[in-house]
């Protein structure tokens, strides 16, 4: 019900209020060759053009749009509240490559990251080749815990290496690997060997959840935060300063975003905070980051 109310409020023209931009040269961020106005990214969740268009005017430095080759339907009920966060099994509900291309052709706004998932390497590559001229960055989602085969590449590092190589062969835009929760050393090494310079730590955490149709889903929100900080620190220490890291999981305040950046993140992203804390959070985080500079 809360999500429906939130979406209803989002339909009002609030993005026209002159309150979202925290425009400051000091916030500008280079993310693997792509210039963002600030380091606060809307993480993958949405596929609806109207939400992406609105979010692009709500203070984010980039917005993420998810897509698969063919349109996919979601499951219902698909999201339930757990403490301050959610458990979801929305899968990859999206309009598919063709409709997404039409939307992107007319899009104007902050940089777009396309979050791509697929059942095979060919499917990922087809979407990259088809859509890359209309986007700024491409995120390989190998970490969706709540659909069949969603974790396939995360759990099979050799296959992941193949995917990274092929994606890098066809890809002209900066590539990001969206990691699953855990240590990921082998996967990150394969990404770097394939000249992929950006990782996003991380997707949701698989948990049992009786209220969802499949009996499990992906946990998001504050319960993930300490894991996000711990692993971001570890990745930065092990893989050095050249790797770009997006910290994702449980960030819902300026202080939490700042700590993630101090722990080694090059940028931060969130979804749950957008739903629970509302559309002003990106501005709040950017102001806090400026205040701590």
Ligand X SMILES: Cc1cc2nc3c(=O)[nH]c(=O)nc-3n(C[C@H](O)[C@H](O)[C@H](O)COP(=O)(O)O)c2cc1C
Write down the least CB distance from residue 117 to ligand X, Å. Answer: 7
Two tokens, residue 62: 């980039």
Two tokens, residue 57: 């005017």
Write down the least CB distance from residue 18 to ligand X, Å. Answer: 26
Nearer to ligand X, 45 or 55 (CB): 45
Q: Which residues lie closer than 8 Å to 7 by C-beta, 6 or more apart?
A: none
Nearer to ligand X, 178 or 190 (CB): 178
DSSP three-state, residue 155: helix
Write down the least CB distance from residue 16 to ligand X, Å. Answer: 26
The DSSP-derived string for 156-200 is -HHHHHHHHHHHHHH--S-EEEEPPSS--HHHHHHHHHTT--EEE
Q: Which of 194, 131, 212, 125 is nearest to 158 (CA)?
A: 194
Task: Round to whole Å and give the CA distance between 98 and 100.
Answer: 5
Nearer to ligand X, 31 or 271 (CB): 271
3-state secondary structure 249-293: CCCCCHHHHHHHHHCCCCEEEECHHHHHCCCCHHHHHHHHHHHHC
Task: Round to whole Å and give the CA distance between 269 and 249.
Answer: 8
Q: What is the binding site for ligand X (CB under 6 A)?
A: 43-45, 66, 79, 86, 88, 90, 92, 115, 141, 144, 178, 203-204, 220-221, 224, 248-251, 270-273
Kindly report the number of other CB atoms within 10 A of residue 218's CB atom.
25
- In contact, 47 and 66? CB cutoff 8 Å: yes
Nearer to ligand X, 86 or 258 (CB): 86
Task: Round to whole Å and give the CA distance between 256 and 262.
Answer: 10
Nearer to ligand X, 45 or 267 (CB): 45
Write down the least CB distance from residue 109 to ligand X, Å. Answer: 19
Write down the least CB distance from residue 47 to ligand X, Å. Answer: 8
Write down the least CB distance from residue 172 to ligand X, Å. Answer: 21
Write down the least CB distance from residue 268 to ligand X, Å. Answer: 9
Task: Round to whole Å and give the CA distance between 291 and 237.
Answer: 26
Nearer to ligand X, 52 or 224 (CB): 224
DSSP three-state, residue 143: coil
Nearer to ligand X, 22 or 177 (CB): 177
Write down the least CB distance from residue 225 to ligand X, Å. Answer: 8
Edge-to-edge strands of the sheet including 79-82? 79-82, 85-88, 216-220, 205-208
Nearer to ligand X, 23 or 262 (CB): 262
């Amino acid at each position: 019900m809360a999500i429906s109310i939130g979406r209803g409020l989002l339909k009002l023209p609030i993005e026209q209020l002159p309150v979202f931009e925290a425009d400051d040269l000091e916030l500008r961020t280079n993310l693997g060759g792509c210039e963002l106005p600030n380091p606060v990214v809307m993480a993958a969740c949405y596929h609806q053009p109207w939400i992406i268009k609105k979010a692009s005017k709500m203070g984010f430095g980039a917005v993420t749009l998810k897509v698969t080759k063919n349109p996919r339907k979601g499951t219902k009920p698909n999201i339930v509240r757990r403490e301050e966060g959610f458990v979801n099994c929305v899968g990859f509900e999206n309009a598919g490559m063709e409709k997404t291309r039409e939307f992107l052709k007319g899009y104007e706004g902050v940089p777009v990251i396309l979050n791509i998932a697929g059942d095979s390497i060919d499917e990922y590559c087809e979407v990259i080749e088809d859509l890359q001229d209309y986007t700024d960055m491409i995120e390989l989602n190998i970490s969706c815990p709540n659909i069949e085969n969603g974790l396939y590449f995360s759990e099979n590092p050799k296959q992941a290496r193949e995917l990274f190589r092929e994606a890098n062969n066809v890809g002209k835009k900066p590539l990001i690997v969206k990691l699953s929760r855990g240590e990921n050393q082998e996967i990150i090494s394969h990404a770097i060997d394939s000249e992929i310079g950006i990782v996003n730590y991380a997707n949701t955490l698989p948990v049992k959840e009786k209220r969802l149709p499949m009996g499990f889903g992906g946990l998001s929100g504050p319960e993930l935060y300490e894991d996000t900080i711990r692993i971001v620190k570890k990745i930065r220490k092990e893989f050095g300063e050249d790797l770009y890291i997006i910290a994702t999981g449980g960030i819902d305040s300026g202080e939490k975003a700042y700590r993630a950046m101090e722990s080694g993140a090059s940028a931060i992203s969130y979804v749950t905070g957008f739903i629970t804390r509302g559309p002003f959070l990106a501005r709040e985080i950017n102001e806090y980051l400026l205040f701590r500079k």
